[in-house]
């Protein structure tokens, strides 16, 4: 369980095109502003950055967040043009027991699903999709030091809250970040053979008594500002 089952390709020496996936518009706006991406595109060094945000659901009007929409939006985007690197930035739940606090940053080493259970050989590993992302150990260390971030495991699921079993799993696996998209993006990137890196910022503490959605809303601006301030340095260090 502790060792990733799958691995993504390394980041190539020359990165010309980066697809930057952000799940929510409220997360994407400050990142776009910080990168000067008024038309959804920006440049960092030699790399062209294109922002990908799933946007609002046409029926409900709310952001299409979560693993299904993330996979669907990325798979569609990869059909039209192939990036050298996919980057995911966004908010996450963090863990007080791991020494994390609000607005802390995590450079993700590996990602998995925590709400996928199939008690059959092979299928359990398939649905958990525990995947080592593309940055090497030295890239992780360098970028984390530059940003003052931690490096470690992120876990994704379809829910903002967490069950008691999931809390026990997070403890056992030393999970640092809980989100709703990254492991799904990792599945798409593995199937397409495209490298993936991720930067997460803590909006709420999963192992704290305050209801997650209240903390999330209160800390959203502060945390997305911190991610936005670090966005260019994160991408610049990897390309
Ligand atoms: N209630 C919010 C919706 C946020 S859902 C609103 O009204 O806008 C959570 C989003 O932030 C997802 O895209 C997810 O990736 C991230 N996230 C932040 N904290 C999370 C947590 N504790 N668990 C899962 N996802 C979290």
Q: pLDDT band for position 210 (50/70/90)?
A: confident
**Measuring from atom 25 of ligand 1, which residue has the nearest CA?**
179
Secondary structure of residue 181 in the 3-state scheme: coil
pLDDT tens sequence across 80-119: 989 999 999 999 999 999 999 999 999 999 999 999 999 9
**Other Cβ atoms closer than 10 A to 138:** 8
Mean pLDDT over each residue of the chain, to the nearest integer: 96
Reported pTM: 0.96
- How many whole angstroms separate alpha carbon 107 and alpha carbon 127? 23
CB distance 212 to ligand 1 below 6 Å: yes
> What's the confidence (pLDDT) of residue 167?
97
Residue of 88, 216, 227 best suited for mutating to test ligand 1, as the one with most atoms within 8 Å of CB = 216
Q: Per DSSP, what are the bridge partners of residue 113?
A: 156
pLDDT tens sequence across 149-192: 999 999 999 999 999 999 999 999 999 999 999 999 999 999 99
Q: Ligand 1 mean position to 6 CA, how many Å?
A: 25
CB distance 213 to ligand 1 below 6 Å: yes
- Catalytic residue numbers, as ranges: 27, 204
Cβ 181 vs Cβ 88: under 8 Å: yes
Maximum alpha-carbon separation in the chain = 48
Cβ 156 vs Cβ 112: under 8 Å: yes
> What's the confidence (pLDDT) of residue 21?
98
CB distance 20 to ligand 1 below 6 Å: no
Question: Which DSSP string corresponds to 50-92?
Answer: EEE---B-TTT-SB--SHHHHHHHHHHHHHH---SEEEEEEEE
């Amino acid at each position: 369980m502790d060792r990733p089952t799958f691995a993504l390709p390394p980041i190539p020496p020359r990165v010309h095109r980066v697809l930057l996936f952000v799940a929510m518009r409220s997360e994407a706006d400050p990142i776009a502003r910080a990168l000067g991406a008024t038309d959804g595109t920006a440049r960092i060094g030699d790399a062209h950055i294109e922002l990908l945000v799933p946007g609002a659901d046409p029926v409900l009007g709310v952001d299409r967040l979560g693993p299904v929409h993330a996979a669907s939006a990325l798979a569609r985007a990869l059909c039209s043009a192939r990036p050298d690197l996919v980057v995911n930035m966004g908010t996450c739940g963090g863990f007080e027991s791991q020494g994390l606090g609000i607005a802390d940053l995590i450079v993700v080493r590996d990602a998995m699903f925590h709400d996928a259970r199939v008690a059959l050989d092979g299928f359990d590993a398939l649905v958990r999709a525990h995947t080592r992302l593309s940055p090497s150990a030295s890239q992780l260390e360098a970028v984390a030091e530059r940003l003052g971030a931690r490096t470690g495991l992120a876990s994704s699921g379809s829910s903002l809250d967490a069950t008691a079993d999931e809390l026990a799993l997070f403890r056992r696996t030393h999970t640092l970040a809980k989100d709703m998209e990254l492991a799904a993006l990792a599945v798409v990137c593995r199937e397409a053979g495209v490298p993936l890196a991720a930067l997460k910022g803590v909006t709420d503490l999963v192992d704290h008594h305050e209801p997650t959605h209240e903390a999330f809303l209160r800390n959203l601006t502060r945390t997305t500002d911190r991610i936005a301030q670090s966005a260019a340095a994160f991408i610049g260090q990897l390309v």
